[in-house]
Amino acid sequence: MSPSAAAVLGLLAMAVVSLGTGMFARRFAHTTSDFMVAARAVPPRVNAAAISGEYLSAASFLGIAGLVMQYGYDVLWYPVGYAAGYLLLLLFIAGPLRRFGAYTIPDFAEGRFDSPRFRRLAVALVLVIGFFYALPQVEAAGLTVQTASGLPYWVGVGVVSLVVVAAVTGGGMRGITLVQSLQFAVKVFAIALPAFLLLIHFGGLGSSFAGSPSGLAQLTKTTSFKVTPGELWQLPTATEIRVNGGATVAWSAGELVRSPGAVTAEVAGSPSPSRTARSGERLLRIVGRRLVPRGTIVWRQGATATLAAGEAAPYGSATPASTDARWMNPFGPLAGGSGHPLLFTYSLIMAILLGTIGLPHILVRFYTNPDARASRRTALLVLVLLGAFYIWPPIYGALGRALDPALYGGNLTDSVVLILPSLLGGWLGQLLLAVVSAGAFAAFTSTLSGLLVSLAGALGHDVYGRWLRPTATPAARRRAFQVAAVMAGAIAGGLGLLVGQFNISVLVGWAFAIAASSFFPLLVLGIWWPRLSTAGAAMGVALGGTLSTLAIVTSMVATIAPPLETFLAQQSSLAVILEQPAIITVPLAFLVMVGISLLGQGPPPGVAAKMVQLHAPELLGLRRDYIPD
Amino acid sequence: MDPPTSGSSGAEPPGSAPSRLLEFEEQTEVGGVYLQALMRRQLRLSLAVAATFIAFLAVQPLISARWPQWASIRFWGIPLPWLVLGLGSYPLLIWLGMVYVRRAEEVDDEFTDLLS
C-alpha cells in the first residue's frame, strides 16, 4: 500500500463514521431545543467529551506540533493557555451562564440587559469570530488531504464542508454532540499512540533535546529537495549543495527574521528577500556540488537540490533559522524575535487564556447541561480530557526537529504530525499514518461542526427567529437553522478555497484576541457586577471588538504593504501590540464598561431578578430558563 | 423577553417556605443581602483559585528573564522549563479545578440549607 492509500483510507473511514453517527443521532433530534441546545439533557461525561472534541481543532492537532518544531519552547504557552482557559471558564462562567438558560450568547446579551439592539451587536461579533475560526479549519482540511494523500486542495475543503453541513442540518446540536464525543476519542488515540511508539523506538524524549555537535538542526539522511523558482532558503551555515544539471541562485548575506503574522525585519541591513532588486546580492551558479556560504538564497529556477546527511537543514521562508540553543531556551525566535520577549509572552498568555472564555461556540455548549452543577462538572472533566491531549503535540515538535529537520526546508513543519509516524516504516508506519490522518480529519470536522451550529444559531435563531420574524413557528425556526447551516457551510468552504496559506495557529490566535476583548469582559462583568449598565456593556464590547479587529487587520495588511511593514519594523513595541492586541484591548474594554456604568444611568431595571437567576442554586426551586423548553 | 414560566426543574417553591426564601424570591432588601453574600463568597473562591494558577504562569517568564540558567537544568535530558510548563501545568489545572468544584458546591449547598 502506498503512503497516500493508507492516508486516504484513514480519512475516508473517519468521514464515513462521522456521517453514520450523525445519521443515527438524527432520529433523536426533533424540537428546536434539540437543534439548539440538545434539549439541555447532555450528561457531563458526554458533554465534556463533545466540548473537548470541538475545541481540539486543526490548530491543536497539527498546528501546535508544527509551531513547536519551528519556534521551540515559547510555543508551549499555546497548549497550556488553551487548556487553562477552561479553568477560568469553570471559575467564572460555567455555572451562572447555564442557570440563565438561553440558547446563544446574543440571547444572554439581550436577556441580561433587556436590549434587542445589544443582541444585534453580539450577533455581529459571533459571526466575525466564527468565520475567523472556521477559515483555518477549512484550510487545514485542504492542506491535510493534500499532504497526506496527494489529492488536490479543494477535495479536502469540499469533503469536510459536506460532511459537516450534513451532520449539522441533520441532527443539530443533538446530533453533533454524539459525533464530537466520538471524534474526541479518535483524536486522543491518534495523537498519543504514534507518539508513544515513536518515543519507544527512538529512545525517549531526552535524546531530542541532546542537540547536535554543530548546534544546528542537521539532516539525518541525504535529502533531495524539489525547489521551485523564487523559493527562498536560509542557510544557517556554509552548506554543500548538489544540483545535477545546474541551477542559478541569488545569494545574499542577510538573515531573515520573522515572528508569526506580520513582523518581517532583516538583520545585517539587507533588504527583504521577497523582493527581487537587492543590493549586495550575488548570482551563484551551482553545477554539481558547490559549497554555498552562510546566508539567504533565492532559487532562480526549479531544480532538485541534494544535501548530504549531516549538513545543516536549510530553512524555508516561513521559519526563522535557529540554533539548538535558541530553539530550546525561553524567549527563542517566537517571543524573542519581537525584541520585547516579556511583553510578547504576557500578551500572548492573556489572549489565549481570556479568549477561550469569549468563544461563543464553546460557551453555547454549557447551555446543553441540565443544571449549573452538571455544567461545572463538565468544565472540570474538560480540563482532564484536554490535559490528556495537550501533553502530546509538543512531543511531535521536539521529535520532528531531531528526526526529520528536512521539513524546515520545504516549509512543511505544519504537517510534522502526519509525517513522523511513517518513520517507523513498514506496515506499522502505514497503519499509524492512517490513524493520524483519521485524527486530523476528526480535528477539523468536529471544530467546524461546532462553529457551524454557532453560526447557524446566530443566523437562524437570533437574526431570523428574533429579529426578522419574531412570530415564526418552531418548525419555521428549525428550518431557518438548517438553511443557515447550509449557507454558513458554503461561505466557509468558499472562503477556504480563496485564503492563502496563513499559519493555522496564528489565524486561530486572532479569533481568540477578538473574543477576549469583547465577550470575555461582557460575560464576567455581566455575571458578577450588577451595576453594569447597558450603555457601558455595549460600548465596551463595541470598542474591544473593533480595536482588536483593526489591530489584527493592520498587522495582516503590513505583510503585503512594504511601507507599513518597514514602519512597524522600526516601532517594534507597536508591532508586538498590533500582533497580540489583547494586553491593551482587554483592560481597555473593562475600563470602558466600568467607567460608563459608573458615570451614566444605572443598571437596567430588574437587574436583581437577573442576578437571582444567575446565582441562586437550583435546589431552591426558583429556576426559570430564559427560554423555557 | 419571554414571559417567565416555571423552569424545567419542576420544583415549585414550597408553599410553606420559610420567610427567608420568600424574601429572597421577592428581592426585598433582606433578600438582596442574602444574594450578595452568596455572590461574594463564590467570587472570592473563584478569584483565589484563578490567582493561584495565573501566578504559576506569570512567574515563569520572569524566571526566564532574570535567571535564564534554569533552562540548563535537565531531568531525563529534558530542560526544566519544558517540563514545568508543558507537563506540570496540567496536573495543577486539574487539581485546582477539583478543589474549586468541591468548594463551590459546598457554598451552594450551605446557602440552600440556610434558606430552606
Chain B closest-CA separation from residue A110 CA (Å): 8
CB atoms B35 and A84 under 8 Å: no
- Asked if B88 has any chain A CB less than 8 Å from its own CB, the reply is no
> B2, B24, B27, B64: best mutation site toward chain A, by most A Cβ within 10 Å?
B64
**Where are the alpha helices (H) located in A368-425, listed in sequence order?**
372-390, 393-403, 406-409, 416-419
Chain A closest-CA separation from residue B19 CA (Å): 13
What's the grid cell of residue B31? 433578600
pLDDT single digits (tens) A174-226? 778 888 888 898 899 999 999 999 888 888 788 888 888 788 888 888 888 88
DSSP state of A309: T
Confidence category of residue B60, pLDDT binned at 50, 70, 90: very high
Q: What pLDDT shows up at residue A494?
A: 84
- Largest pairwise CA distance in chain B: 69
pLDDT at residue A363 greater than cutoff 80: yes
Q: What pLDDT shows up at residue A60?
A: 83
- Look at residues A370, A454, A363 and name the one whose alpha carbon lies nearest to residue A89: A363
Q: Name the percent of chain B lying above pLDDT 90.
A: 43
Instruction: Compare all CA atoms of chain B with the CA of A609 and give the residue at the minimum distance.
Output: B27
d(CA B48, CA B76): 34
Q: Name the percent of chain A lying above pLDDT 90.
A: 10
**Where are the alpha helices (H) located in A114-250, listed in sequence order?**
116-149, 153-201
CB atoms B101 and A345 under 8 Å: no
Which residues of chain A are within 8 Å of residue B112 when distances are taken between CB atoms? 617, 619-620
CB atoms B71 and A330 under 8 Å: yes
CB-based contact A101:A458 (threshold 8 Å):
no
What's the grid cell of residue A552? 489584527
Neighbour count for residue A266 (Cβ, 10 Å): 17
CB atoms A615 and B35 under 8 Å: yes
Closest partner CB to B43 (pick from A528, A617, A623): A528
- Look at residues A164, A170, A176, A181 and name the one whose alpha carbon lies nearest to residue A488: A164
Q: What pLDDT shows up at residue A264?
A: 31
Helix, strand, coil shares, percent, chain A, to 5: 70, 10, 25
Chain A closest-CA separation from residue B70 CA (Å): 9
Q: What pLDDT shows up at residue A268?
A: 27
Q: What pLDDT shows up at residue A504?
A: 52
pLDDT at residue A101 greater than cutoff 70: yes
Which residues of chain B are within 8 Å of residue A620 when distances are taken between CB atoms? 13, 21, 24, 112, 115-116
- Look at residues A348, A278, A235 and name the one whose alpha carbon lies nearest to residue A579: A348
- Asked if B71 has any chain A CB less than 8 Å from its own CB, the reply is yes
Which residues of chain A are within 8 Å of residue B62 when distances are taken between CB atoms? 342
CA distances from B93 to A81, A82, A353, B52, B85 (A): 11, 12, 13, 10, 11
Confidence category of residue A506, pLDDT binned at 50, 70, 90: low
pLDDT at residue A299 greater than cutoff 80: yes
Cα Rg of chain B, angstroms: 23
Chain B closest-CA separation from residue A391 CA (Å): 6
Query: Which pTM does this prediction carry?
Result: 0.85
CA A284, distance to chain mean position in Å, is 40
- Asked if B55 has any chain A CB less than 8 Å from its own CB, the reply is no
Tally: H helices and E strands in chain A: 26, 8
- Mean local confidence (pLDDT), A498-516: 68
CB atoms B25 and A87 under 8 Å: no
Chain A closest-CA separation from residue B63 CA (Å): 10
A68-82, A335-349, A590-604, B58-72: least confident range: A335-349
d(CA A96, CA A611): 9
- Mean local confidence (pLDDT), A530-554: 88
Q: What is the mean pLDDT of chain A?
A: 80
Which residues of chain A are within 8 Å of residue B43 when distances are taken between CB atoms? 528
CA A85, distance to chain mean position in Å, is 14
Q: What pLDDT shows up at residue A590?
A: 92
Chain A closest-CA separation from residue B104 CA (Å): 9
Residue showing cell 541534494? A306
- Asked if B42 has any chain A CB less than 8 Å from its own CB, the reply is yes
Q: What pLDDT shows up at residue A278?
A: 45
pLDDT single digits (tens) A226-257? 888 888 888 888 888 888 888 888 888 766 54
> A98, A329, A528, A611: best mutation site toward chain B, by most B Cβ within 10 Å?
A329
pLDDT at residue A100 greater than cutoff 90: no
State which of A198-212, A500-514, A545-559 shows the largest mean pLDDT: A198-212
Using DSSP, state whether A121 is helix, strand or coil.
Answer: helix
Instruction: Compare all CA atoms of chain B with the CA of A378 and give the residue at the minimum distance.
Output: B101
Which residues of chain A are within 8 Å of residue B2 when distances are taken between CB atoms? 626-628
A37-46, A112-121, A490-499, A502-511: least confident range: A502-511
A81-95, A105-119, A458-472: least confident range: A458-472
Q: What pLDDT shows up at residue A270?
A: 28
Which residues of chain B are within 8 Å of residue A623 when distances are taken between CB atoms? 6-9
Instruction: Compare all CA atoms of chain B with the CA of A331 and give the residue at the minimum distance.
Output: B64
pLDDT at residue A13 greater than cutoff 60: yes
Q: What pLDDT shows up at residue B54?
A: 93
Instruction: Give the number of A-B residue pairs with CB atoms closer than 8 Å.
Output: 181
Q: What pLDDT shows up at residue A258?
A: 45
With 0-12 / 13-18 / 19 or more C-beta atoms within 10 angstroms meaning exposed / middle / buried, residue A237 is middle
Contacts of B97 (CB under 8 A, 6+ apart): A87, A90, A379, A380, A383
DSSP string, A46-94: HHHHHHHHHHS-HIIIIIHHHHHHHH-GGGGHHHHHHHHHHHHHHHHTH
CB-based contact A85:A55 (threshold 8 Å):
no
CB atoms B89 and A371 under 8 Å: no
Residue of higher predicted confidence among A563 and A128: A128
CB-based contact A344:A335 (threshold 8 Å):
yes
Fold of A3-202+336-620: Sodium/glucose cotransporter (1.20.1730)
- Mean local confidence (pLDDT), B92-105: 94
Q: What pLDDT shows up at residue A277?
A: 35
Chain A closest-CA separation from residue B79 CA (Å): 8
- Mean local confidence (pLDDT), B51-68: 92
- Asked if B65 has any chain A CB less than 8 Å from its own CB, the reply is yes
pLDDT at residue A393 greater than cutoff 90: yes
CB-based contact A357:A93 (threshold 8 Å):
yes
Chain B closest-CA separation from residue A34 CA (Å): 15
CB atoms A376 and B68 under 8 Å: no
Q: What pLDDT shows up at residue B82?
A: 94
CB-based contact A35:A25 (threshold 8 Å):
no
